[in-house]
Structure 1
């Protein structure tokens, strides 16, 4: 696996995990018991706490990438191990 391919895979995993993490712990101004600031939507988060979410996203993405790396490079799971994939003969 080349470095560029590994970085591209990690980047995609990181963004997917970030969008999965964004809703956790978000409270609107109404839920927080405060008044919404003028000019903002009522559904806007009061305190989004992005730094902890970015750190958690980086850690979770690293774990997922380690699994993907093991599967791709060390052949932890091969295509022949997946039962519903068709079997092909090797080309001579």
Structure 2
């Protein structure tokens, strides 16, 4: 597989992981009972922690992309599926 394809697969897998990780540990202003700034959405998260979630998504994307590439290049696995 070419490097451009690997980067494209990683990018897609990273976004899927990031979207899956976003709701973990999030609490809205409505749930915590904190006061809102005028015009703010009551469902917005109090502390979104985007950096930690991006790092977690990166780790998961590395693992999932590695597993996907291993599965696509493993001759034994491919022979099993092609019988």
Matched residue count: 83
Normalising to structure 1: TM-score of the pair?
Answer: 0.80
Q: Provide the residue aligned with 2:5 in structure 1.
A: 5
5+ unaligned residues in a row in structure 1: which ranges?
88-92
C-alpha contact 1:70 1:76 (8 A) present in aligned 2: no
Query: Distance between the aligned counterparts of 2:52 and 2:43, measured in 1?
Result: 21
TM-score with structure 2 length normalisation? 0.88
Structure 1 runs (4+) greater than 4 angstroms displaced: none
Calculate the aligned-residue CA RMSD, in Å: 1.7
How far 1:76 moved relative to its partner? 5.0
- The structure having more radius of gyration, on CA atoms, is 1
Post-superposition offset of 1:14: 0.4
Report the alpha carbon displacement of residue 75 of structure 1 after superposing the two structures with TM. 3.1
- Match of 2:35, SS state, is coil
Unaligned runs of 5+ in 2: none
